[in-house]
Structure 1
Amino acid sequence: MGPFAANWLVERINRDYVQQAAVRYARGRVLDAGCGRRPYAGYFTCYVGLEFDRARYADCPADVWGSGMDLPFGDRSFETVFSSQVLEHVPEPWRMVEDMARVLKPGGHLILTAPHIWGLHEVPHDYFRFTSYGLQHLARRAGLEPVEVRAMAGYWVTAGTRFCYYLRRFARGPLKPLVSLFFAPIQLMAWGLDRIHRVESDAWNFLLVARRA
């Protein structure tokens, strides 16, 4: 994926933040809850990918199939639990956070990313958006202690990316190459403006790291 894709910038930011968190906090056996096509498997040494959606990801089988609200593992099975851009698709996200906490070993970390300002996607299974305070509340409710919460960029990246997604509606037929030319300068400008004036309250996404005592 290059800068002429509408979501290039946010995908790059998400990968960078996840990789940094993995280096700092991931240890031992890692569960990826909602692994999809396993884009983050290379960031972890002992990786187990769990997926819920057999129909969508049949071409890229997970290690385990099951529900995020009822993980098919015993208590204290993993040193690290990771989940990226999944929680908004879970009808009862507090149950998923509680079950991820259940399978964590004492001293282990949950690494979680979730959207704050983002358009509808994967409808009709798109239920929630999360503030940094909401994510911390869910962690504490599950018996975890937040140790780090990071906004993934600020207003300009959010606005620039949403504008690219809007433009993508016109990227059809003979207009597709022309519309795609706008994606790179818009996203690069948004990234630059965000470095000058970063408004984290308008972040498109948050990363939470929480620890089980």
Structure 2
Amino acid sequence: MLQKSKHLLLSFVATNQFHPSFAGFLVNPFWLCRRALYHKLGEYAPHLLGRTLDFGCGTGPYRALLTSATEYIGLEYDSPENRMYKRADIYYNGETIPLDDASIDSVLSTQTLEHVPNPDRIVSEWARILRPEGHLLLTMPFMWPEHEMPYDFQRYTTNGLRNILEKNGFEILSQERLLCDCRAPAQLFLAWLYDILKFGTQRPSVQLLLAAFLCAPVSLAATALSKITPQNTNTYMDNMVLAKRMRT
């Protein structure tokens, strides 16, 4: 019975890292931003049709949201670590995506563009492999601590993202700012706490205790306050953009 309970707890923790339920605030220090991101991706992902490339797929946490895709292709940068720990179908050299021109119907990229040193090149590659009027769904942090160092290179404002997409042949269909309220500074505080307390190096049991007794109250309080405090679109966590490849 104890072993089964432990297994259920670990499964709950793993599921709530990228697919946060309401109860996920108890185990995930990043619950505020991850829950908002997951819900919005759920709204926009059905726009991605046909043969879909998940650029920077990691372990494919959002694959199940691609309900309109007929084929899923996960892509990662080619490195020994990525080949060992990621779940990619193809790997690329950081410059050229190994797919033919106009061979993809849709592209998904979640929280990845900040990790490439050549964003213009990558966006032009997305345009190259997309068929005309194919869709791109892109998310990227606006405010977030440096992470996955030394592979963290930039952040973009809404205008910055619009500029890099439009000059590479995309038309913006929709653009949203996520967590434009008091949850944004609350999440930044929790990210600071995560680093200061070195969550990632703690034993799993210690991580759970820290998340439940330190992070969860902040997440709940910020969520409650967000219902009664004003929004501020200048202070937000993430950008989400749905765009289409323009015909040339």
Instruction: Give the TM-score normalised by the residue count of structure 1.
Output: 0.91
Residue 166 (structure 1) shift: 2.1
Q: 2:11 — aligned with what?
A: none
Paired with 2:40 and 2:126, the residues of 1 have a C-alpha distance of 20
* RMSD, aligned CA: 1.9
Change (3 A) 1:22 1:177: closer
Q: Mind listing any 5+ residue stretches in structure 2 that lack a counterpart?
A: 1-15, 17-23
Paired with 2:129 and 2:179, the residues of 1 have a C-alpha distance of 31
- Specify the code of the residue in structure 1 equivalent to 2:143: I
Residue 177 (structure 1) shift: 5.8
Residue 102 (structure 1) shift: 0.9
- Specify the code of the residue in structure 2 equivalent to 1:187: S
Q: 2:51 — aligned with what?
A: 29
- Specify the code of the residue in structure 1 equivalent to 2:224: G
**Residue pairs, 1:28-177, within 5 angstroms:** 28-44=50-66, 45=69, 46-57=71-82, 58-67=84-93, 69-168=95-194, 169-170=196-197
**Residue pairs, 1:10-21, within 5 angstroms:** 10-21=33-44
SS in structure 1 of the partner of residue 239 of structure 2:
strand
- Specify the code of the residue in structure 1 equivalent to 2:151: H
Paired with 2:185 and 2:95, the residues of 1 have a C-alpha distance of 33
Paired with 2:111 and 2:208, the residues of 1 have a C-alpha distance of 29
Moved over 6 A (4+): none
- Specify the code of the residue in structure 1 equivalent to 2:38: R
Residue 71 (structure 1) shift: 0.7
Range that drifts further, 54-63 or 77-86: 54-63
Change (3 A) 1:115 1:136: same
Paired with 1:72 and 1:16, the residues of 2 have a C-alpha distance of 31
Count of equivalent residues = 212
Change (3 A) 1:132 1:148: same
SS in structure 2 of the partner of residue 135 of structure 1:
helix
Q: 2:223 — aligned with what?
A: 191
> In 1, are the aligned partners of 2:109 and 2:138 still within 8 Å (CA)?
yes
Residue 53 (structure 1) shift: 4.8
Residue 68 (structure 1) shift: 5.0
> In 2, are the aligned partners of 1:30 and 1:80 still within 8 Å (CA)?
yes
Paired with 2:56 and 2:206, the residues of 1 have a C-alpha distance of 35
Instruction: Give the TM-score normalised by the residue count of structure 2.
Output: 0.79
- Specify the code of the residue in structure 1 equivalent to 2:242: V
- Specify the code of the residue in structure 2 equivalent to 1:8: W
Paired with 2:154 and 2:209, the residues of 1 have a C-alpha distance of 34
Identical residues among aligned pairs (%): 32
SS in structure 2 of the partner of residue 56 of structure 1:
helix
Residue 94 (structure 1) shift: 1.2
Question: Per-residue displacement from partner, 1:160-207 (whole Å, max 9, x unpaired)?
Answer: 111112223236589756542121121122223334322121111100
> In 2, are the aligned partners of 1:52 and 1:68 still within 8 Å (CA)?
yes
Change (3 A) 1:98 1:177: closer
Paired with 1:137 and 1:68, the residues of 2 have a C-alpha distance of 22
Q: 1:202 — aligned with what?
A: 235
Residue 56 (structure 1) shift: 3.3
Question: Per-residue displacement from partner, 1:71-121 (whole Å, max 9, x unpaired)?
Answer: 110111111111000000110111111110111111111110011111000
Paired with 1:133 and 1:50, the residues of 2 have a C-alpha distance of 27
Change (3 A) 1:132 1:195: farther
SS in structure 2 of the partner of residue 3 of structure 1:
helix
